[in-house]
Structure 1
Amino acid sequence: MKTRTLLYALLVLTFSCNDDKKAEPTTPKYVEELHSYAKPNASVIKHLDLNIDVDFDKQIIDGVASYTIENNNATEIVLDAKFLNIASVEADGQNTEFELGAFDEQLGQALTIKISEDTKTVAVHYQTTSKTEALQWLNPQQTADKTHPFLFTQGQAILTRSWIPIQDSPQIRITYNATVKVPSELMAVMSAQNPKQKTADGVYKFTMKQPISPYLMALAVGDLEYKAVSQRTGVYAEKSMIDKAHSEFSDMEKMVVAAENLYGAYDWEQFDVIVLPPSFPFGGMENPRLTFATPTVIAGDKSLTSLIAHELAHSWSGNLVTNATWNDFWLNEGFTVYFEVRIMEALYGKDRANMIALIGRQDLEEEVEGFKDEPEMTKLKLDLSDKNPDDGMNSIAYDKGYLFLRTLEETVGREKFDAFLKGYFKTNAFSTVTTEGFIDYLNTNLLEPNSIDFNVNEWVYESGVPENQAKIVSDKFNNAERILNEFIANKAVDVSKTKDWTTQEWVYFIRNFPETITTEDLERFDKAFNFTNSSNSHIAMVWYEQAINHDYHGNNVDQNIEDFLIRVGRRWYVSTLFKAYKRNDKVDEALAIYKKSRPNYHSVTANTIDEMLGYNE
């Protein structure tokens, strides 16, 4: 009797425990996303088959996006769409109901598609429109060769939804295949396996077998040529640019080797760069296998190629291990700046690496000052509720993030820190990470095992820059500052003292002009060094800023600034100069130029300057 009672009690306890286990809530795979309508914990896309026609006459993309989905017994799947015409939708090959929700200026619309609990595929037939923000259609005069039109996309942060209906959250990673039809005289390339030559019929097929976040979906179409640097690196550009680009980026293979020596194998097989027309809004965009780059980095002396090192570093920090949400953006960029500086140190020495880091430190000081009325925006972990994720893409994420990691490195020692980072990339490969997930990993794998007390929460969750920050020193910058003061004091310039200066030294020299500098000093410098006509875009940009700040009008500088702003669409450069006009109460001058330059800008740049200058078409 006792035995039966005991057995019965054990059975009841066993089933009770099982029931308790069933009752336990499961942890959602995807975290809450402020900037996407998608509900991936219910139904999520896993693979995309894209079949599109690129129509330059109508300036639209027309086609179908077919998705393989993971369905957790859901009766609907929600995609993001913005400025798209949705013609029809299918679920498992059969027409199904769909609805476009209310339009939001930042997020676009929720595309809600009716499915059954066992639906495995969804296909959306759609067209882009004239308002599509990701696409920039360029006429021949806006290209380098001026013979054929050009198209490129820019998806980061949440613009992919404006050229493909998609679940546009960085934590949703997908593989994709694409068939793209373009005019036969043009070539199409994507963030995927790419052709090296034009096809006869203008049809191109692409495969991306590694899962990537939607913001890394990218397409460019133009009269392109390819030139290899090594078996796994090379450049695409228009004919008139291909040799310049190849020469400028000839260290690409060395950069890949240096990166692999630091943090493990390059997992994307190919690392190519396409040089786009000058309206491209960023210095570079790290689209997997094919970095998009601005021609403003081609200086003729490889002095601005740290940008290529930066985009390469994203192959680990950003593309391989991705910020889960845009509130965690610093995980992409802070790590990448740190990695970029390490690559540059490995190839060109500590002096050059420290100069790059110090220029970033100056940028950080200016950014913190600019946010003095919004100190919460100087935190690494952001709260971008009701904000465009673009608002967090600034020096805080890049340079405060870098400084945090460099301070960690100097605290624990480089050998331990390198081992930690290598393990972090390997452990989290092809996945996404939140700030909290990174901090847990940091504590478990670096700080606690080494009994290190570090103010992580202050760095990540509080405003400003903590006092325990790495001190970055450059003897070359100290020398540049000494020479600057000497030239001003003596009212004379000795050009022999600046012989063989790097771009970084010139930038530091110009950026550190005192507030009291006179137009006579500026004229003297311009006569000696011809800054106004510099072919180096970074030097020209910082010089033009100083000309605006100090009312210097010599050497036809006003016309050169206008020409620069009309020709170059790189948002950093453009916003720096328009900000200088605004800061110096010259908004009318700025608007006069902007009305001419705006048609050449991608929406990313135009939206920033519209808001800055209060411009309405």
Structure 2
Amino acid sequence: MFKLILPLIALSILFSCQENTGQDQVQVQSNSDQENNETQKITNHSYSKLDEVKTTHLNLELTLNMNDRVIDGVARHEVKNNGFEKAYFDVKNLNISKVTTGKKGEEKEVQFEIGESDTLLGAPLSININKTDELINIYYSTNPDAEALGWLDPELTGSGKFPFLYTQGQAILTRSWIPVQDTPENRITYSAKVKAPKGILPLMSATNPTELNDSGVYTYEMQQAIPCYLLALTAGELEYRQLSHNSGVYAEPHLIDASAKEFKDIPKMIDAAEGLYGKYAWDVYDVLVLPYSFPFGGMENPRLTFLTPTLIAGDGSLVSTVAHELAHSWSGNLVTNSTWDDFWLNEGFTVYFENRIMEKVYGEEVAKMLAIIEYQELQNTVQQMEEEGRAEDTHLKLDLDERNPDDGMTDIAYVKGAFFLKTLEREVGREKFDQFINDYFNAYKFETLTTEDFLKYLETNLLEPNNVEFNTEEWIYGAGIPDNVVQIESDRLAKVQALSKVIKNGESLPKDLKREDKTTQEWMAFIRGFEGELSVEKMEAIDAQLNFKNSGNSEIMTEWFVLGIKNDYKALRPEIKAFLKKVGRRKFLEPIYTTLIQTEENHEWAKEVYSEARPFYHAISFNTVDEILGVEY
């Protein structure tokens, strides 16, 4: 995930002193006293006051209105009430029709108020309750432009027969489709009942059906406590293919065979992960291949990882993303950052763990190449942030107060975090480090913690017992990459980088370039080896042999398109346009559009392409591209 820039959204809030009539969007002002400033107090990007009243279990009743792009629902919160008469939830662009307390069938309607809306955080929903109330029921509906919801018309799906829906809640978008206490520090269990149109299979980050039923009503249970950003829902024309006793693949019918083939090694990855850091705690590990508009490579929703179809390269060369999302089952889902300032605790551990899984399943050399490619991207990110005067954003521990938490979703959290752990491993040895990680996951399983909590645990359980002095403060609170960072080398990457120099400086192109001899990471290193400069003639000659522009490998195509744009290789424009209209993954869109705006001519062409491509993108992606191109819609 990369930097997310959200649009300014004006929410119209109706305040009324009348009693609730039960009609949609009627809000009841809370009691005779006006809300004071404390109502608007924001802690950890949330209006909730967990020390007063907090959710322990959520029961959802949802009806999917696919054609209208609306979810009608009831969110029934079982809460721990520490003797308070108000409960606070986060909402964003939701229509609240009424709020009740008590069991179903014995409900009592209560007063509520939606406070002033913030363009980033949404608004506080404050509810009047009794000190003994433990059940709060919020009746609501979403809006068609809810930021967490990705709606696709039938023509944007494989068969063209049915609409499609998926959610993306991380970091603070769950509040735009469910009224919740939307902070990672509170973990909850949940259950749900979902009614879907005929032919549509709904799935959640919970127990799931594998086929349609006649009623169109499906039930779900998540018995392990999760943070709210991991609440997930999808619905569409889907098929299931089992891979092992505890893993399988969902995809649209036209992609199910290719998906099952591409991800056939998932059972091996699960075995490798459990061999490293203990038993998988979520019973089932299924993956869902979403349509191309999905803005990320993957999302680690427990029991149902969401994946982009751009991972289907035909040769299994991009499955490290699957290893990454699987690793989140330990780092992030099992042990979670308490605040978004501590996001590296999720992603740094996950990138480290991902690399260990890849090493165990595919070998040390593959793992090395993956790590080097990531380190190159980290170096570029650090350089760019320093040039922009954002050195503080290169710290592992961030200060995201009054900022979008997605500003912290950069290579710093992911790769600097991983290399911090790799460097620690070098200092104490792999055996001791693996035992430390095992103990850490067990110590904090199904809990949240801050960076400072982790540092105390690190000092007490690894550094002190092994008499190791380590520059922890510099790594966590310092800018850039410390000098003692572990160095990784790969002979295979070195060879392709040398080949790049021969081609760049030579008069003719070697005639024996064969794609099947190289991994994705080798070809990425090969393209990067030109350092942004290569003649159009040589690019054409490389395409004649390797057909990078139509390779079907999105990682390679993005690297190639960026190089082509920099060197005025205009013959690539049809392929770039087709790619931008098909793929909604922000990781690929951001560098292509950013490179296009460097010249006036390319900038104008990019805006023309974007006007056609934007309807295919999720809000997370088009918000970013709007900002890059300087356009408003």
TM-score (norm 1): 0.93
Q: Which residue of 2 aligns with 1:385?
A: 401
SS at match of 1:240: coil
SS at match of 2:244: coil
Is 1:580 matched with 2:595? Answer: yes
Q: Which residue of 1 aligns with 2:427?
A: 411
Structure 1 CA distance for aligned equivalents of residues 588 and 158 of structure 2: 19
Structure 2 CA distance for aligned equivalents of residues 291 and 213 of structure 1: 15
Superposed CA offset, 1:357-391 (max 9, x none): 11110110111122111111111001012211111
Is 1:492 matched with 2:506? Answer: no
Structure 2 CA distance for aligned equivalents of residues 369 and 581 of structure 1: 20
CA distance 1:191–1:52, shift in 2 (3 Å): same
Structure 1 CA distance for aligned equivalents of residues 416 and 512 of structure 2: 35
Contact 1:327 1:384 in 2 (8 A): yes
Structure 1, unaligned runs of 5 or more: 1-30
Q: CA deviation at 1:493?
A: 2.2
Is 1:47 matched with 2:47? Answer: no
Contact 2:68 2:144 in 1 (8 A): no
Q: CA deviation at 1:513?
A: 1.2
SS at match of 1:206: strand
Q: CA deviation at 1:559?
A: 1.2
SS at match of 2:378: helix
Is 1:33 matched with 2:43? Answer: yes
Q: CA deviation at 1:499?
A: 5.0
1:448 paired residue among 460, 464, 469: 464
SS at match of 1:86: strand
Structure 2 CA distance for aligned equivalents of residues 576 and 113 of structure 1: 45
Task: Give the counterpart letter for 1:535 in structure 2.
Answer: G
Q: Which residue of 2 aligns with 1:606?
A: 622
Task: Give the counterpart letter for 1:192 in structure 2.
Answer: A
Q: Which residue of 2 aligns with 1:84?
A: 94
Is 1:519 matched with 2:525? Answer: no
Is 1:302 matched with 2:312? Answer: no
2:376 paired residue among 345, 362, 372: 362
Q: CA deviation at 1:113?
A: 0.7
Structure 1 CA distance for aligned equivalents of residues 213 and 532 of structure 2: 57
Task: Give the counterpart letter for 1:518 in structure 2.
Answer: S
Structure 2 CA distance for aligned equivalents of residues 432 and 155 of structure 1: 18
Contact 2:513 2:545 in 1 (8 A): no
Is 1:464 matched with 2:464? Answer: no
Task: Give the counterpart letter for 1:401 in structure 2.
Answer: G
Is 1:72 matched with 2:82? Answer: yes
Structure 1 CA distance for aligned equivalents of residues 613 and 199 of structure 2: 29
Contact 1:296 1:537 in 2 (8 A): yes
Structure 2 CA distance for aligned equivalents of residues 447 and 369 of structure 1: 31
Task: Give the counterpart letter for 1:383 in structure 2.
Answer: D
1:348 paired residue among 362, 373, 377: 362
SS at match of 1:287: coil
CA distance 1:172–1:185, shift in 2 (3 Å): same
Structure 1 CA distance for aligned equivalents of residues 516 and 632 of structure 2: 47
2:68 paired residue among 54, 58, 62: 58
Q: Which residue of 2 aligns with 1:236?
A: 250
Q: Which residue of 2 aligns with 1:163?
A: 177
2:554 paired residue among 537, 540, 543: 537
Alignment of 1:323-342 (within 5 A): 323-342=337-356
Q: CA deviation at 1:496?
A: 4.8
Q: CA deviation at 1:175?
A: 0.4
Q: Which residue of 1 aligns with 2:17?
A: none
Q: Which residue of 2 aligns with 1:27?
A: none
Alignment of 1:475-486 (within 5 A): 475-486=491-502
Is 1:220 matched with 2:230? Answer: no
SS at match of 2:488: coil
Structure 2 CA distance for aligned equivalents of residues 356 and 331 of structure 1: 20
2:268 paired residue among 244, 247, 254: 254
SS at match of 1:495: coil
Structure ID, larger Rg: 1
Q: CA deviation at 1:576?
A: 1.3
SS at match of 2:240: strand
2:436 paired residue among 400, 409, 420: 420
Further displaced range: 513-522 or 310-319? 513-522
Structure 2, unaligned runs of 5 or more: 1-40
Q: CA deviation at 1:587?
A: 2.3
Superposed CA offset, 1:418-477 (max 9, x none): 000010001100000100001011001000111100001100001111000000111110
Contact 1:493 1:525 in 2 (8 A): no
Structure 2 CA distance for aligned equivalents of residues 565 and 32 of structure 1: 38
Q: CA deviation at 1:531?
A: 1.0
Structure 2 CA distance for aligned equivalents of residues 492 and 346 of structure 1: 37
Task: Give the counterpart letter for 2:545 in structure 1.
Answer: A
Is 1:437 matched with 2:453? Answer: yes
Contact 1:487 1:494 in 2 (8 A): no
Q: CA deviation at 1:141?
A: 1.4
Structure 1 CA distance for aligned equivalents of residues 51 and 598 of structure 2: 47
Contact 2:514 2:545 in 1 (8 A): no
Task: Give the counterpart letter for 2:614 in structure 1.
Answer: R
CA distance 1:515–1:561, shift in 2 (3 Å): closer
Contact 1:549 1:584 in 2 (8 A): no
How many residue pairs get matched? 585
TM-score (norm 2): 0.91
Structure 2 CA distance for aligned equivalents of residues 105 and 549 of structure 1: 36
Contact 1:493 1:528 in 2 (8 A): no
Further displaced range: 397-406 or 605-614? 605-614
Structure 2 CA distance for aligned equivalents of residues 552 and 492 of structure 1: 17
SS at match of 2:160: coil
Task: Give the counterpart letter for 1:323 in structure 2.
Answer: N
Contact 2:532 2:563 in 1 (8 A): no
Structure 2 CA distance for aligned equivalents of residues 158 and 583 of structure 1: 32
Further displaced range: 389-398 or 578-587? 578-587
Contact 1:224 1:238 in 2 (8 A): yes
Structure 2 CA distance for aligned equivalents of residues 256 and 432 of structure 1: 24
1:503 paired residue among 497, 500, 520: 520
Q: CA deviation at 1:498?
A: 5.8
Task: Give the counterpart letter for 1:523 in structure 2.
Answer: E
Structure 1 CA distance for aligned equivalents of residues 124 and 596 of structure 2: 39
Superposed CA offset, 1:312-358 (max 9, x none): 00000000000111110010001000000000000111110011111
2:416 paired residue among 400, 421, 427: 400
- Aligned-pair Cα RMSD in Å: 1.2
Structure 1 CA distance for aligned equivalents of residues 499 and 93 of structure 2: 54
